[in-house]
Structure 1
Amino acid sequence: MAGQIVDVHHHIIPKPYKDELKKAGVSTAGGFPIKDWVPEDSIKMMDELNIDVGVTSISEPGTMPLKKRHAAKVARKVNEYQAQLKKDYPGRFKSFALLPMPHVKESLKEIEYALDVLKLDGVGLYSNYGEEFLGNDKFEEVMKLLHEKDAVVFIHPSASEKEFVPPEYIPTDFIEEFTFNTTRAANNLILSGTLERYPNIDFILAHAGGVLPYLEWRIDETLKTEQYILKDPLNRVDMIMRKDKGGFVKELLKHPIRYTKMFKNYAHIVRRWSSLSQPAAYYIRKFHYDTALSTGDSTFASIKEVTDISHFHFGSDAHFAPDRWIAEMEKNIKETDYFTDKEKQQIFSTNAVELLNKHNN
C-alpha cells in the first residue's frame, strides 16, 4: 500500500462513444476538443505518473445529446467496454458506470445491469442534465435504487445551458462554470433532502466540490434561518416583515397570480427543507471530495474545515487535464504542510480503497 496512488477521477474516451458523439454533432467537452484515446494511453500516463489504479468514468456530455433508446444502447456499450477494460488490465482499473440520464426508466435498468451483472464499482452522474440538477424530483427513483444498491456515486460537472452567456474573458465552462454546477448540484442534493432520505449513497464531488466548502457558512445559516421561521411561521414572519409589512401586502395584491404560483412552489421547498434532521454543515461533511485541478493550499484549508481527511481522494482529471498539471497536483499534495505524511497517503490511496471496498464487498 505504501506509495500507491488511486485516481478516482480518470476519464476514458472509448472510440465507440466518441463516434456516437460525432454523429450527434458533438466534438467538445467543457469547451475543449474531445481527443482520441486508447487504453494504452491510460497505462502509459499512469506508469509515468506513478498511478497504480484508475477509476474510469466518462466526462460530459455522456449520452445527453442522444435520444432515449439510442442513449440507453450507448450507455450499455460503454459499460460493457469498461467491464472488459478491467479484465484486460487486471488490477489497473475500476469503473463508474455511465447512465442514460435524464431518462429514468432506462437508467434504472442500467444501474441493475452495471452493478449486478457487470460488477462495476459505482455509478457516474453529472451535476445537471440541461436545467435539471441532481436532487430534482424527477430523479427520485434513481436515487432510491442507488440507495438500495449501497452505491458510490461520482458526480462530475456538466456544461451550462446554451442560453448562459459567460463573461467575455472566460470563454469556456472548464475555467469556472463547471465548478459552479457541481456546487449547485451538491446544494440541491442537500436541500432537497436527498442525502437525508438516501444515506447509503456515498457521493464523490469532482474538483473538491466546486465552491461548496467555501459557501458552507452561507448555506448553513440560510437553512437555520428558514427552519427557525418554520417552527412558528405566523409570528416569526410577522416579526421579520414588521418594518415594511404594508408594502409587502400591496405587492402581493398587485400581482396575485405571480405570487400564488411562487408560494405554491415555495411550499414544496419548505416541506423538503423541513424534512432535514441536521444542519447543512452535517451533509456537506458527508460528501467525499476529489483533488482534481484543486490542489492549492486555499483548497486544502477549506476541505479540512468542512470534512475529515477520510473524505478526500486523489483525482487527476485524465485525459482532459494535461499530464504536467497532474504531476504538479501530485507534487502539491506531497509538499503541502496542511497534511501529515499519513494523511497524504490516505488522500493518494487509502481512502479510495476503503470507500470502494465498503461498497463492493
Structure 2
Amino acid sequence: MYRKIDFHAHYLSPGFKKFLKKYFDDYGDGVKTPAYTIDTTLETMDKNNVAYSIISLSSPHVSNTNDAGLTSELATEANDYGAEQRKAYPDKIGFAATLPLPYVAESIAEIDRARSNHATAFTLPTNANGTYLGDPGLDPIMAKLNERKTIVMLHPNEPKPIAKDVNREIPTPIMEFFFDTTRAVTNMVLHSVFTRYPNIKFIIPHAGALLPVISDRIALAQKLNPALTDDQVNMAEVMATQYFDVAGRVLPHQLPVLQQVTDPTHILYATDSPYTPAPQVVQLTKELETSGLLSEATKKMIFYSNGKQLLDEVK
C-alpha cells in the first residue's frame, strides 16, 4: 500500500460525545454517534498505511447550543483533547482546532489559544447554526486566520434552514452535505474570501461536492445580475488554487470531474473515519490505490506528497 497522510479523520472528545447525546440523542445529522477512542484512529491508520492523521470534530457543529458561552466551552474542551492526542503521538497525530463560530471574539481568542497548543490546522463548519461562511460578520475571524497563515478544513453541516418534508428518508450527510458545501463555498466566492485572505490554505471536503459540476455555471450569474464583479463569480480560480480531500466515494465519477478543474497537486487523501466504518475505509482506499483512472504519479501525490508539501508550507 501507498504511504498516506489523512486530512479528513474525526475524533470525539468526551465533551463532544455529551453534546451529541444531550442535543441530538446520539443521532447528530441523523447519524448514530460512533464508538471512539484514539485507538480507533490509530487502528484505521495501521490498516491503511497512514503515516499521519489530522483529526477534527465532525458535524453537528457545537454552535447548536445557541449559547456563546457553551459553544466556546465545547470548542475549548474538544481542542484540549485534540492537543492531548497530538502530544501523546507527535509523529502520528495532528489536530484541527474547532472554533466557536459564529461568535467572533470567542473565535479569535480560541485561534490564539489553539495555536499555542500546537494546532496543526483549523476546521470551520459550512454554516454555524445558520451563519454561513462568507458572511461579512465573520471577516475578523478570517483576518485572524489569514494573519496566522493557517490550513482551514471546511466541514459540511445540515443546511439551516432545511426543508423537513423533502427527501427526509435520505440521511443528511448523503445529499444535503454536498449542497451545503457548495452553498458555503459559493458564498465565500461571492464575498471574495479566497482573494482577500490569500494566506489561508482552504481544504474543501468530499472532492469539492458539487462545485466541479457548477463551476462554469456560476460565471453565468453576471448575465442575470450585471452588478456582480468578475471576482464575485470566479469559481474557476478557486477550483484551481484551493485544496480538496477525497473523503467518501469519489470513484468512478466524481474524482475524474474534479481533476478537470483543479491541479492534481491540490488533491488530498482522506478516510472520514470513524463515521465511515473501518471496513469501508479499507475498501474505498483500495479503490483509489488500484484505480486505472489515476496515474501512478497522481496516486503518490494524492496519498502523501501533496499533503507533506502543504504541511511543510505552514510550519
TM-score (norm 2): 0.93
Question: What is the Cα-based RMSD across aligned positions, in Å?
Answer: 1.9
Q: Aligned residue pairs: how many?
A: 314
Q: Which has the higher helix share?
A: 1
1:144 and 2:143 equivalent?
A: yes
Letter in 1 for 2:91: G
User: 306, 311, 315: which is aligned to 1:356?
Assistant: 311
Distance change (3 Å), C-alpha of 1:25 and 1:332:
closer
Give the partner amino acid of 2:269: F
Partner of residue 325, structure 1: 280
Instruction: Decide whether the 8 Å contact of 1:300 with 1:338 is kept in 2.
Output: no
Query: What is the CA–CA distance in structure 2 between the aligned matches of 1:163 and 1:186, rounded to whole Å?
Result: 18
TM-superposition CA deviations, 1:217-254 (whole Å, max 9, x none): 1012324x368x4xxxxxxxxxxxxxxxxxxxxxxxxx
Structure 1 residue 25: Cα displacement: 4.8
1:284 is the counterpart of 2:239: yes
SS in 1 for 2:152: strand
Aligned to 2:99: 99
Match of 2:252 in 1: 297
Which string of whole-angstrom CA distances, capped at 9 and with x for unpartnered residues, describes residues 143-200 of structure 1? 1111111111000100123642253464311111111100111111111111111111
Q: Taking structure 1 as reference, are residues 24 and 31 closer, same or farther at Cα in structure 2, changes over 3 Å only?
A: closer
Task: Give the SS at the match of 1:61.
Answer: coil
Q: Which amino acid aligns with 1:295?
A: V
Shift of 1:20: 3.4
Q: Output the CA distance in 2 between the equivalents of 1:215 and 1:221.
A: 10
Shift of 1:90: 2.7
Report the counterpart of residue 217 of structure 1 in structure 2: 216
Partner secondary structure for residue 94 of structure 1: strand
Contact 1:208/1:294 (<8 A) preserved: no
Contact 1:15 1:37 (8 Å CA) reproduced: no
Q: Which runs of 4+ in 1 moved over 3 A?
A: 23-26, 166-170
Task: Indicate if the aligned counterparts of 2:64 and 2:129 stay in contact, CA closer than 8 A.
Answer: no
Alignment of 1:40-59 (within 5 A): 40-59=39-58
Q: Deviations over 1:29-78 (max 9, x none)?
A: 23111123111121122212222211100001231122211211221111
Equivalent residue for 2:108?
108
2:118 corresponds to which residue?
119
- Using the TM superposition, give the Cα deviation of residue 275 of structure 1 relative to its aligned residue in structure 2, in angstroms: 7.2
* Aligned equivalent of 1:39: 38
Pair 1:163–1:45, CA change in 2 (3 A): closer
Matched, 1:70 2:70: yes
> CA offsets, 1:309-340, max 9 Å, x none?
01100111111011222112211211222321
Name the % identity: 26
Distance in 2, matches of 1:152 and 1:49, equals 24
TM-aligned CA distance change 1:326 to 1:356, over 3 Å: same
Q: Distance in 2 between matches of 1:87 and 1:5?
A: 20
TM-score normalized by the length of structure 1: 0.82
Residue 104 of structure 1 aligns with an amino acid whose one-letter code is V
Distance (whole Å) between structure 2 residues aligned to residue 170 and residue 278 of structure 1: 34
Is the Cα–Cα contact under 8 Å of residues 126 and 181 in structure 2 kept in the other structure?
yes
SS at match of 2:231: coil
Q: 2-side partners of 1:203 and 1:184: how far apart?
A: 15
**Aligned equivalents of 1:43, 1:163: Cα separation in 2:** 36
Partner of 2:131: 132
Shift of 1:16: 2.5
d(CA) in 2 for partners of 1:40, 1:175: 27
Quick check: 1:155–1:203 contact (8 Å CA) kept in 2? yes
Instruction: Find the aligned partners of 1:12 and 1:277 in 2 and give their Cα distance.
Output: 35
Specify the code of the residue in structure 1 equivalent to 2:157: S
Q: 1:218 to 1:278 in 2, by over 3 A?
A: closer
Task: Report the counterpart of residue 12 of structure 1 in structure 2.
Answer: 11
Q: Distance in 2 between matches of 1:4 and 1:157?
A: 27
Whole-angstrom distance in 1 between the partners of 2:145 and 2:168 = 40
Question: What is the aligned partner in structure 2 of residue 191 from structure 1?
Answer: 190
Structure 1 residues 95-126: Cα deviation after superposition (integer angstroms, max 9, x where no partner): 110111111110010011112x1111110001
Read off the aligned partner of 1:132 and give its amino acid letter.
Answer: T
Q: Choose which of 271, 275, 281 in structure 2 pairs with 1:316.
A: 271
Q: Which runs of 5+ in 2 are unaligned?
A: none
Distance in 2, matches of 1:98 and 1:345, equals 30
- Measure how far apart 1:88 and its partner are: 1.0
Larger radius of gyration: 1
